[in-house]
Amino acid sequence: MSTDSAKNGTRWLPRLLGVLLLLMGLALLAGGIKLSQLGGSLYYLIAGIGFALSGILLLAQRRIALGLYGLVLLGSTAWALLEVGLDWWQLVPRLAIWFAIGVVLLLPWARRPLIGPAAKANTALLSVAVVASGACALGSQFTHPGEVFGELGRESSEMASAAPAMPDGEWQAYGRTEHGDRYSPLRQITPQNAYRLEEAWRIRTGDLPTDNDPVELTNQNTPLKVNGMLYACTAHSKLLALDPDTGAEIWRYDPQVKSPVGTFKGFAHMTCRGVSYYDENNYVSRDGSPAPKITDAGQAVAQACPRRLYLPTADARLIAINADNGKVCEGFANQGVIDLTTGIGPFTAGGYYSTSPAAITRDLVIIGGHVTDNESTNEPSGVIRAYDVHDGHLVWNWDSNNPDDTKPLAPGKTYSRNSANMWSIASVDEDLGMIYLPLGNQTPDQWGADRTPGAEKYSAGVVALDLTTGKARWNYQFTHHDLWDMDVGSQPTLVHLKTADGVKPAIIVPTKQGSLYVLDRRDGTPIVPIREIPTPQGAVKGDHTSPTQARSDLNLLGPELTEQAMWGATPFDQMLCRIQFRELRYEGQYTPPSEQGSLIYPGNVGVFNWGSVSVDPVRQLLFTSPNYMAFVSKMVPREQVAAGSKRESETSGVQPNTGAPYAVTMHPFMSPLGVPCQAPAWGYVAAIDLFTNKVVWKHKNGTTRDSTPVPIGLPVGVPSMGGSIVTAGGVGFLSGTLDQYLRAYDTNNGKELWKARLPAGGQATPMTYSGKDGKQYVLVTAGGHGSLGTKMGDYIIAYKLAD
């Protein structure tokens, strides 16, 4: 081949790069013009011109193309540093593609065919630009924006657990005790030996999604360990008893849940977070008080079923099961069953049932229920009902729309429609004689013009009810006139705190908006200050907003969003995210939903959701996994709702809001490539010192391994859905991240000690217990989460230290 032929053969590379740069430059120019018209950054317009001209010059085979490209790359690097500093994940969409093209242009095969003067000067300018952008990438490896590094530095304090006593190796309630602290006194697993954890056993329950199930089929179960067995429920409300050491099935109960329409597709979601346990022997004058009066029917149940499980089902039943053998306790209620639809009135299939376990006291089993969000203005009551734990008769009921009348509803009567509900888990302090309810709101979530006085007082807050009468002793509302679905999804945690005024019985309530409200649980007065902050005004026509909202001084709020905080996988979808940001209404937290479309941050998934937090009462340390994901909420006037529009889930599709003048659409704030428009991290693990109320450490948590087509685990920090636990050994566990891992952390400093790959999404709260072999086990349900898109499964897996 002649020399001329060889030269002609290499000219395709600069020409190809020229076409590529011209097209990319024109795309940036078009988007940059739009963004500048919205008042956004001029960078994309200017860079678009520069890259397009570079492409034209490359097509013309001119050496000056190298210098011009180097100049634009150098300017892009300076702009990126001014916007985000040395933040690796923020620099990637801004510089990665341009850096890679710059490297290619420096290759001899790209430079050699170019003609024109000053070849060395142009090459030198491009080299400087490539080195500068590469240095930024290298330097950003040593920065940790958004993270906090520190150590608690104490193994104990003067404090001790005030939770109800139980054997160290048991886990008798969803939060281990009815105080909901998710703390185990087991200490066999430590930061020094956690690396030796290995799988002890796994089982498959056989309960997998079917074609008749809703999108949001989720397995959020935290099993119990008590009575020598493990007790786990599945998404279809099946109940299993397992051997703690081997996972072998001892018995199984299938309630044969049924939908009125023959399919569960109309359900908003299906889940079973847990069951409740009651042992007659645990509650007989255990504190020296007189034994409760038990009816003859109750005495019969106590003799036939002295140890009982209470199973909530997806078809709105509460069933009493003999914990020893899995048989229904026929003497309880109506042949072992409480019909939770009694007095509720009509509702669409799946519109009412209990997704969470009932609270248990010496005398009562107390339960609320899920009410489908944004279905209509005429939904079932959110009434909370207390039944006699022995025979199942209704003792009292508390309806936020009729809060003073707690005597049992008369036969044939109906509770008020559409009152605030409790879909999450309550906590109980029997010494103070109160149950603490984390309340939802009155639907629809984004339209509040028709809210009742009861909803305006009690919803989206915590209410303390008297255990004997069911009457409200106190309440504290965290979100006034809630238009953002900021209902309280977390179980409150009851703990004794050391304060300047002495030790106080406290209640800690994590919330979706990022505040952790710390109150004296005797009367609801704040222990950590709560301030009413001014908030954006201007709801849709006919509605209003509260002028202020309650914000705790103890919070894990992220910084407010800005255009500079917009992200994307490439410069192009990042630019489109910036355009979306400018087109949406956003004035900070509590921006009202609008016809324009409002950016809601934190989104309705929340900073904290049903996973709540865990508290080590001895170290006085709170361990948690905050999330940071923005949502878009758009109000759609009724006359503009397109024919055939329908909801796909509670967070996608058109939410009908039947009876309200507006429907609503909600979706995560995502780029056209399906990645979040806000910059990472989106999920952390963190610890708070409860002596100082300061963050001790906060680290990005989780990888992209199961969120992208490329199975590479980039440590970006992903959202989690599921709670944490802490142990006296100084180790915390969490499994809820979008990547499929159970992780162990040193609670002193947040260091990741160990992780185990799960066969499906682990969106549940793990638990720990002692086996018959004397070993400490850590157990997790890996069943996936439909709305999060994690892999579905039917696994229960236990781990213990290797011999």
Q: Which residues are the active-site residues?
A: 485
Q: Which residues of 436-471 are buried (b: 16+ CB within 10 A; e: fewer)?
A: bbbbbbbbbbbbbeebbebbbbbbbbbbbbbbeebe
Dihedral (CA of 143, 726, 368, 309) sign: positive
Whether cis (ω within 30° of 0) applies to the bond prior to 185 is no
Q: Which amino acid is at 657?
A: N
Q: Rounded CA gap, 590 and 534, in Å?
A: 10
* Distant-in-sequence, close-in-space partners of 247: CB < 8 Å, separation ≥ 6: 201, 202, 203, 230, 796, 798
The H helix count followed by the E strand count for the chain is: 10, 43
At what angle are helices 119-139 and 88-106 packed, to 10 degrees? 150
DSSP string, 89-112: HHHHHHHHHHHHHHHHHHSHHHHT
Nearest to 235, CA basis, from 326, 315, 302: 315
The answer to whether 761 and 790 have CB atoms below 8 angstroms apart is yes
Instruction: Please check whether residue 715 is in contact with residue 168, taking contact to mean a CB–CB distance below 8 angstroms.
Output: no
- CA-CA distance, 696 to 751, in Å (whole number)? 12
Phi-psi region of 146 (alpha: psi -120 to 50; beta: other; left: phi over 0): left
Tokens of 686: 């963190």
Beta bridge partners of 62: 115
User: How many whole angstroms separate alpha carbon 722 and alpha carbon 800?
Assistant: 21
Which residues is 712 bridged to in the sheet? none
Q: How many CA atoms lie within 13 A of 603 on its CB side?
A: 20
